[in-house]
Amino acid sequence: MTDPGGTSGPGAVVARVRGVLGDTVRRLLTAGSGEYPEFPIADAEDPGLFGPDSVTWRVHSGRSMLVGGLRALLVQSLHPLAMAGVAEHSSYRTDPLGRLARTGRYVATTTYGTTPAAERSIAAVHAVHGRVHGVADDGRPYDARDPALLSWVHNVEVESFLVAYRTYGGGLSDDEADRYVREMRVLGLRLGADDLPTRAAGLHEWVASHREVRASAAAHDAVRFLMLPPLPVPILPTYGVIAAAAVELLSLRQRMLLRLPSVPGFETLAVRPAAGALLALLGWALGPPPPVAAWRAEAAG
């Protein structure tokens, strides 16, 4: 008889499928290495900027970050000066997976790393920003160190992570959502941003009413790239579901500015169930981030 839990039973088959799927996604998110980024992990003596009891750890450990990250890129493109900096200085076209991996490393380090590790990661971002300046198509100068631009990028990112988690990652009370915004404000201030709401409602209003919002030609180019990036063909259906979920979380105004389609009712009936099932599958295959898994094991022990 075949042992259901042995090397050839159904359990082994499931384990192999989980391993292959997890390894494939990890390689995609890490630009081929498949390894979680190395940095000193927060511990009881130094819980880092947030700590394991923070809402930030809960939000950032969810696979909804995949949807939130893409939504953030779409919304961030609506600031002409921020988009000019990306278009002229970013490697998103020539090295999209490398840029994704670097962004993931930054988020992981500032979330789960010790305070010195987070500070080194922030310093590296400051160094990059020091080289990002120029003149936008409308004739205005831009500088990535401008607190107004840093506030835009940070606030849109936090709002996107929050919206995605509340849609796909699990429940957050209004108080917990406010706490997440305040926790992330600590990071925004360290980056040099200076216009940072302290409550979720204020954050949503800040992004929705920002006076600089418009879609430049560079923004439309970036959106076209983000909707159909040069990924391996087997990955494209999965990416398509995540992209559809990110678009569905945009406001109607944002979609119209970015020339993205809106089909009333379709998202609720099709996109959200498909994205929810996909993210659950990815969560099963990948498991929690290693720092979260380590803290859980320590707490259980």
What are the pLDDT digits (tens) for 29-44?
888 888 899 999 998 8
Q: Identify the pLDDT of residue 8.
A: 64
Q: Identify the pLDDT of residue 285.
A: 92
How confident is the model over 8-37, as a mean pLDDT? 85
SS3 5: coil
Quote the CA–CA distance of 216 and 79 in Å, as a whole number.
8
Q: What is the pLDDT of residues 72-81, one digit of tens each?
A: 999 999 999 9
Q: Identify the pLDDT of residue 4.
A: 56
How confident is the model over 115-136, as a mean pLDDT? 96
Q: Is the pLDDT of residue 2 over 70?
A: no
Nearest alpha-carbon partner for 74 in 277, 275, 248, 267: 248
Q: What is the pLDDT of residues 200-225, one digit of tens each?
A: 999 999 999 999 999 999 999 999 99
Quote the CA–CA distance of 256 and 38 in Å, as a whole number.
41
How confident is the model over 129-138, as a mean pLDDT? 94
Mean pLDDT of the chain: 92
Quote the CA–CA distance of 66 and 243 in Å, as a whole number.
9
Kindly give the interhelix angle for 147-164 and 174-191, rounded to the nearest 10 degrees: 150
Q: Identify the pLDDT of residue 1.
A: 47
Q: Is the pLDDT of residue 5 over 60?
A: no
Helix (H) or strand (E) holding 133: strand 133-135
- State the amino acid at position 198 in one-letter form: T
Q: Identify the pLDDT of residue 132.
A: 96
Q: Identify the pLDDT of residue 171.
A: 81
Alpha-carbon 293 to chain mean position: 20
Quote the CA–CA distance of 108 and 290 in Å, as a whole number.
10
Q: Identify the pLDDT of residue 13.
A: 83
Q: Identify the pLDDT of residue 7.
A: 63
Task: Output the CA torsion 160→164→170→175 (10° steps).
Answer: 30
Q: What is the pLDDT of residues 248-279, one digit of tens each?
A: 999 999 999 999 987 766 777 889 999 999 99
Q: Is the pLDDT of residue 144 over 60?
A: yes
Quote the CA–CA distance of 145 and 133 in Å, as a whole number.
9
Q: What is the pLDDT of residues 161-188, one digit of tens each?
A: 999 999 999 889 999 999 999 999 999 9
**Which range is least confidently modeled, 106-115, 141-150, 257-266?**
257-266
Provide the pLDDT confidence category of residue 92 given band limits of 50, 70 and 90: confident
Q: Identify the pLDDT of residue 3.
A: 56
CA dist 245 → 66, 74, 152, 242, 272 (Å): 10, 12, 22, 5, 7
Helix (H) or strand (E) holding 143: strand 141-143
